[in-house]
Structure 1
Amino acid sequence: MILFIKLFLAHLLGDFIWQPNSWVADKEIKKHKSIYLYFHVLLHGVLAAILAGEISFIPYAVLIAILHGIIDLIKLNFQKDKTKRTWFVVDQITHILVLIGIVLLYQNKTVIYFWQDNEFWILITGILLLTKPASIFIKTIISIWAPENENSHQDNSLIAAGNYIGILERLFVFGFILTGHFEAIGFLLAAKSIFRFGDLKEAKDRKLTEYVLIGTLISFGIAILAGILVQALLLQLP
């Protein structure tokens, strides 16, 4: 675990703290012809080797640098102005997965370990359940009560913001239950109620208020139920 933390720190330093905006701009324009791309790759390799603090890790640091460069090149060649956010997320997730793989490889473990771990399968199923499947279920259930003027209240909203907020709140509740912090669920519900109070007050629409309340309670209920079930399943593991 400590090795991963050191490598993650090296990644943060190399990708954010010590990478000037001028490097980023030059890479986006010149791509593989940018000398700063290679400076960037070299920096990641050096940081990984230094922070790992072990001579035997140097070959793995070189591998990290090479893979980092390949991932960055793929992003630079395929991203467009409209897809920069998506490619940024994909890029960062891929870098982190590489670090995890390197740590497992260096510590003589295999990635297959995760696929053989029952706890992993239970957790990942619970998490995925609370994302898009739960959103579709909630939307289907409450669609019969959708106010006729619902769309007029969404004109000034961010695209799909309500969906992402619902997913995040369910994941937070799920995490709170698994870590035994049930009181935090109350604070989360109260915080959401405060932020929503202004919108609902201005709307002066009782149907909209009831519609939002039903959706919120169903969302929290699903998250709580999923958290309890997953916790119970984890306790049954040998």
Structure 2
Amino acid sequence: MILFVKLLLAHLLGDFIWQPNSWVADKEIKKHKSPYLYVHVLLHGVLAAILAGEIRFIPYAVLIAVTHGIIDLVKLNFQKNKTKRTWFVVDQIAHLLVLIAVVLVYENKTLIHFWQNNEFWVLFTGFLLVTKPTSIFIKTIISIWSPESQNSQQDNSLANAGNYIGILERLLIVCFILTNHFEAIGFLLAAKSIFRFGDLKEAKDRKLTEYVMIGTLISFGIAIVAGLIIQALLLQLP
């Protein structure tokens, strides 16, 4: 595990901290002809070798550097202005998968150890539950009360912002419960109420206010129950 943390640190330093915007711009224009691409790749290999701290890891550091360059080249050649965000996510996931694979091979481990971890399955299922499945459930439940003025209110809001806010707040609530910080849930609810108060006051729509309150309380309620169930299951694991 500590090796993965070190390699992740090397990746963060090489991809975000020590990669100037001028390098990124030059790579996007010149692609494989950009000298900064190869400097960037070399930097990742050197950082991985240094932070791993073992001479026998050098071949693996070279492998990390080479695969990093290949992944970056694929992204640079296929991304468009409209797909940059998508390719950024794909790029970072690919890099992380390479790091995980290197750690497993280097430490002579397999994914069997990972799949047999009961705590992982409980946490993964619980966190997944409070994301999109819960959003769909809440949307279905409160759809019968959807106020007519809701559409006009959404015209000036970010696309799907409410959905993402709900998912993030439920994830935070589960984390608060698992770390025994129940007081933070009250702080989160108060903070959301403050930000929502201005919008609801301007709308002057009682139905919209009630609609938002119902959705918020259902969301918080599901997250709290899910967090408590996850906590109880974790305590029962051997």
TM-score, length of structure 1 as denominator length = 0.95
Deviation string, structure 1 residues 90-145 (Cα, Å, up to 9, x no partner): 22233223223322332222223211212111111111111111111000000111
Corresponding letter in the other structure for 1:210: E
Corresponding letter in the other structure for 2:138: I
Q: Counterparts of 2:99 and 2:192 in 1: how far apart (Å)?
A: 36
Q: Counterparts of 1:143 and 1:190 in 2: how far apart (Å)?
A: 25
Q: Counterparts of 1:145 and 1:154 in 2: how far apart (Å)?
A: 16
Deviation at 1:6, TM superposition (A): 2.1
Q: Counterparts of 1:74 and 1:234 in 2: how far apart (Å)?
A: 41
Q: Count matched residues.
A: 238
Contact 1:10 1:51 in 2 (8 A): yes
Deviates more, 1:41-50 or 1:110-119: 110-119
Corresponding letter in the other structure for 2:71: I
Contact 1:176 1:182 in 2 (8 A): yes
Deviation at 1:23, TM superposition (A): 1.5
Partner of 1:236: 236
Partner of 1:81: 81
Q: How does 1:171-182 map to 2 (within 5 A)?
A: 171-182=171-182
| SS at structure 2 position matched to 1:159 | coil
Contact 1:142 1:211 in 2 (8 A): yes
What fraction of aligned residue pairs are identical, expressed as a percent? 84
Deviation at 1:57, TM superposition (A): 1.3
Partner of 1:129: 129
Q: How does 1:80-119 map to 2 (within 5 A)?
A: 80-119=80-119
Partner of 1:44: 44
Partner of 2:16: 16
Q: Counterparts of 2:204 and 2:185 in 1: how far apart (Å)?
A: 28
Deviates more, 1:44-53 or 1:227-236: 227-236
Q: Counterparts of 1:179 and 1:105 in 2: how far apart (Å)?
A: 33
Q: Counterparts of 2:198 and 2:26 in 1: how far apart (Å)?
A: 45
Deviation at 1:80, TM superposition (A): 1.3
Deviation at 1:2, TM superposition (A): 3.0
Q: How does 1:58-69 map to 2 (within 5 A)?
A: 58-69=58-69
- Unmatched 5+ stretches in structure 2: none
Corresponding letter in the other structure for 2:184: A
Cα root mean square deviation, aligned: 1.4
Partner of 2:191: 191
Deviation at 1:169, TM superposition (A): 0.4
Corresponding letter in the other structure for 1:50: I
- Unmatched 5+ stretches in structure 1: none
| SS at structure 2 position matched to 1:157 | coil
Deviation string, structure 1 residues 210-232 (Cα, Å, up to 9, x no partner): 10000001111111111111111
Deviates more, 1:56-65 or 1:106-115: 106-115
Q: Counterparts of 1:105 and 1:174 in 2: how far apart (Å)?
A: 33
Deviation at 1:16, TM superposition (A): 1.5
Contact 1:142 1:215 in 2 (8 A): yes
Deviates more, 1:139-148 or 1:224-233: 224-233
TM-score, length of structure 2 as denominator length = 0.95
* 1:200 equivalenced with 2:221 (yes/no): no
Deviation at 1:15, TM superposition (A): 0.8
Contact 1:101 1:111 in 2 (8 A): no
Deviates more, 1:29-38 or 1:40-49: 29-38
Structure 1 residue ranges (4+ consecutive) displaced by more than 4 angstroms after TM superposition: none
Deviation at 1:152, TM superposition (A): 0.3
